[in-house]
Amino acid sequence: MSTINHPNFGAMNDKRVIIFDTTLRDGEQSPGFSMNIDEKIRMAEALAALGVDVMEAGFPAASPGDFESVSRIAENVKGVVIAGLARAAVNDITRAAEAIRAAERKRIHTFISTSPLHMKYKLRKEPEQVLEAVTSSVTLARSFTDDVEWSAEDGTRTDIDFLCRCVEAAIKAGATTINIPDTVGYAVPEDMLRIFSTVRERVPGADQVILSAHCHNDLGLAVANTLAAVHGGARQIECTINGIGERAGNASLEEVVMAIRTRPDANPYHHNIDTTRILRTSKLLSTITGFDVQPNKAIVGRNAFAHESGIHQDGMLKNAATYEIMTPESVGWQKTSLVMGKHSGRAAFRDKLNTLGYGDLGENALNDAFNRFKDLADRKKIVYDEDIVALVDDEVVRGNQRIKFGSLEVWAGSKAKPRALLELEVDGEKKIADERGDGPVDAAFNAIHAIFPHQAALQLFSVGAVTEGTDAQARCTVRLEEEGKSVDGQGADTDTIVAAVRAYIHALNKLITKRARTAPEALSA
Ligand code: KIV
Ligand code: ZN
């Protein structure tokens, strides 16, 4: 394989694999995973620190909110290529170009469907029209930036001869990356190997561009298919944190990256990911979206490095390699440790945050997090690193909010009707409500309604534990829905009802921000 000279990466070593993260685009567009702009920027900064090479920040033509978040990421997040997605349409491509304008390094990613099914039913276009659109869209994108990626949507179900013609047209028009997505997660590894090898061998100029794989997980094969594509010549991997994405999701970044790192004999490639930041990035995404990964999720699941059976534990004590193919530390797990107590001061807390990777918290967020830590240390016997991570993420995702939690007292039990006395701060003004309900959570939510009347409907309420034990912090998720739009809010606290109230007002604040962009008068108290 010859060396490729890439506009954003320079001379590329043949074994180097570009990690293209699409958590903020393919991931964010899946149901329940939407993020607001501040959350996207926080996530984008975490992805940059993780070492992704390209970050697909969004789909600027999809909505004004998408446009704004891509522009803000382009302005603020440095050291990584920022990509904006665009269909093969003039308006899409121009919007993408405008949104990424401020980026240090930029890319336009344009796509069109190429499979018979998509061309006939979705696009209602003849193959020759699609070919023309490939040339015109890539040519237009190239007028804005040297780094253009072209994707053949539903590429793995495309006739291979037609796929090769499209790829050739895209390369001739100036595309520097060619992505062949397995859009519906239909392929098996043998297909991927064959498709990528064929394109490389047959298409003139294919050895001068980066080939890319974008695999969906409908058959649970996204990671295997991605690796097979790399064996066939792909040198860019499109993936997401925790494998989030349309339907069953995309190839999971952490799995692909660790498969390459753990099995260099089978996958002799390299990437720039700082794997020790994987867990923290995964947890940040869970905190922002409110979806924890399943316990047995590879790499980042709670059980990924847990050894329960006596035989395994015995082996582990003798030599960890008996049952561990990678060290937990290599992906960011830390030995569970007693971090600090209630006598620890601000300096120790700041120091702890640094070791946990939160060196860049602003002074206000640091102060708020420190106060909550002191409060937690008063109530909880053992404060683990995980507790601090949950608490700080909880604080950081909140930012400047109109409604702030003040205090809560609850009376509940099997006899009296549960009662909640709640104090909130709304636009800087303290407000109190004393309400009853069909349970303590219901009473507390009624109190929120009394202080801040609103029409949003509660769609989901879930509770999980941050660590083990009866004094563990609860992490709650609340989903509110208004006029067909839903948002998720999260809250953590040792008191489950307080965590629930925090989650509720987090969701309410998100709805207020969302509505303010379209109808400023809505949702006001
Ligand atoms: O799955 C897919 O085909 C996509 C394209 C837009 C790249 O997400
Ligand atoms: Zn996709």
Distance (Å) from CA 304 to ligand 1 centroid: 29
Binding site residues, as ranges? Answer: 26, 214, 216, 250
| In the predicted structure, residue 86 carries a pLDDT above the cut 90 | yes
| Highest mean pLDDT, choosing among 22-36, 186-200, 384-398 | 186-200
| In the predicted structure, residue 519 carries a pLDDT above the cut 60 | no
Tokens 């009853």 belong to 436
Cα distance between residue 509 and residue 507, in whole Å: 5
* pLDDT at residue 522, as a whole number: 38
CA geometry: angle 192, 198, 199, nearest 5 deg = 95
Q: Which H or E element spans position 10?
A: strand 10-12
* pLDDT at residue 309, as a whole number: 63
Tell me the pLDDT tens digit for each residue of 143-192.
Answer: 999 999 999 999 999 999 999 999 999 999 999 999 999 999 999 999 99
DSSP, residue by residue, 272-312: ---GGGHHHHHHHHHHHHS-PPPTT-TTTSTTTT---SHHH
Tokens 């108290």 belong to 525
Superfamily of domain 403-515: Alpha-isopropylmalate synthase LeuA, regulatory domain (3.30.160.270)
| Residue spans per domain, the chain | 17-289, 306-332, 403-515
Pocket test of ligand 1: the residue of 30, 54, 93, 111 to mutate, having most ligand atoms within 8 Å of its CB, is 111
Eight-state DSSP code of residue 357: T
Tell me the pLDDT tens digit for each residue of 256-298.
Answer: 999 999 999 999 999 999 999 999 999 899 888 878 898 899 9
Fold held by 17-289: TIM Barrel (3.20.20)
Q: Do the beta carbons of residue 123 and residue 130 sit within 8 Å?
A: yes
Q: Which H or E element spans position 196?
A: helix 189-202
Q: Do the beta carbons of residue 327 and residue 320 sit within 8 Å?
A: yes
pLDDT band at 396 (very low <50, low <70, confident <90, very high): low
Check residue 469 and give left, alpha or beta (phi > 0: left; psi -120 to 50: alpha): left
Q: Tell me the whole-structure pTM to 2 decimals.
A: 0.79
Taking the CA of residue 179 as reference, the ligand 1 atom at the shortest distance is 7
Distance (Å) from CA 250 to ligand 2 centroid: 7
Pocket test of ligand 1: the residue of 112, 153, 157, 246 to mutate, having most ligand atoms within 8 Å of its CB, is 153
pLDDT band at 397 (very low <50, low <70, confident <90, very high): low
| In the predicted structure, residue 334 carries a pLDDT above the cut 70 | yes
| Ligand 1 surroundings by CB, under 6 angstroms | 26, 111, 151, 153, 179, 181, 183, 214, 216
Beta strands in 199-337 (DSSP E): 210-215, 236-239
Binding site residues for Mn(2+), as ranges? Answer: 26, 214, 216, 250
Q: How much is the mean pLDDT over the chain?
A: 90
Rounded to an integer, the average pLDDT of 490-500 is 90
DSSP, residue by residue, 43-104: HHHHHHHHT-SEEEEE-GGG-HHHHHHHHHHHHH--SSEEEEEEESSHHHHHHHHHHTTT-S
Distance (Å) from CA 22 to ligand 2 centroid: 8
Distance (Å) from CA 220 to ligand 1 centroid: 17
Taking the CA of residue 151 as reference, the ligand 1 atom at the shortest distance is 7
Which is higher by pLDDT, 36 or 129? 129
Backbone angles phi, psi at 62, to 5 degrees: -70, -35
Backbone angles phi, psi at 235, to 5 degrees: -130, 15
Tell me the pLDDT tens digit for each residue of 217-241.
Answer: 999 999 999 999 999 999 999 999 9
Tell me the pLDDT tens digit for each residue of 18-54.
Answer: 999 999 999 998 877 888 898 899 999 999 999 999 9
* pLDDT at residue 435, as a whole number: 96
Q: Do the beta carbons of residue 236 and residue 225 sit within 8 Å?
A: no
Distance (Å) from CA 56 to ligand 1 centroid: 11
